[in-house]
Amino acid sequence: MLNKIVPGLQPKKLNKFIPDKKMLDDNVGFVEILEVFGSDLTIANAARVSFNKESEFEPVKIGYGDGAKIIGYKLSTRDEKLIQYLAENDHVTPFFHPQIRFRIKMPIFVIREWYRHTIGFARNEVSRRYVTYEPEFFVPRELRKKDENVKQGSSSEVVDNSDEQIKLMNDYCKKALEYYNSLLEDGVCPEQARMILPQSMYTEFIETASLAGYARLVNLRLDSSAQLEIRKYANIVSCMLTKFFPVSWRTLIKSDYLERKVS
């Protein structure tokens, strides 16, 4: 039983939480938000406990007098200013109190970058020691050229033989899958058979972290120097957390990242 968000407003009571799932543009990878603990008010009250004080949401009404109807709740202007102050002055501990749980499906080569973020993150991943269902593979729509100005990364320019190379990538994945299945059919244990599967293979994991942890991840992984494939995942996470923490998220994330569309 978790917070239900009223558009433009904040939750006051605990209601049934409806998970939200967003697919990547390949229609295979996804980000699904499973659970949310806390709200913007959680952060404000974590800070206010220093003075042994506590805030509440303010009701939003329509109509006048006795006929006024409460349509939702919002954070007070006083608490909005407090959250902004906390973020601007690096008082980060209140932002560790809200927790978010995701289920994410992404290619292994993207996960290796995502998993670099460890502080405050807990993860459990599908293990191919135990499962043998047919794996899926990520193959890009186009192949980018290396950026000559940086040691790592890519440019927006597409290589001349992109279509030909992508076809070869697809063929390679198919052959790897055929060999993997043949190893299993010959009685080879899954924990060894999996060794020949490429890094483009998709896997799934459940991940729980604080709002502060996701803010650091998103700020780094939405940077233009980050790999495009990981920026797409970070962008979805950012859009989802904006809905649940509309005040806090906008103070934690670089302003140009909030409006940026990754494609």
Measured CA to CA, the distance from residue 225 to residue 207 in angstroms comes to 24
Cβ-based neighbours of 253, under 8 Å, separated by 6 or more: 215, 218, 219, 222, 238
| 163's tokens | 């279509």
109 three-state secondary structure: helix
Residues paired with 99 in a beta bridge:
37, 210
Phi, psi of 70, deg, nearest 5: -80, 125
**H/E run at residue 71:** strand 69-74
Phi, psi of 189, deg, nearest 5: -65, 145
Active-site residue identified among 78, 112, 216, 221: 221
| 146's tokens | 């290396």
8 Å CB contact between 129 and 191:
yes
141 three-state secondary structure: coil
In the residue annotation, 221 being an active-site residue is answered as: yes
**Helix residue ranges, H only, 186-254:** 190-193, 211-221, 228-244, 246-252
| 153's tokens | 């990364």
Measured CA to CA, the distance from residue 146 to residue 81 in angstroms comes to 44
Active-site amino acid positions: 221
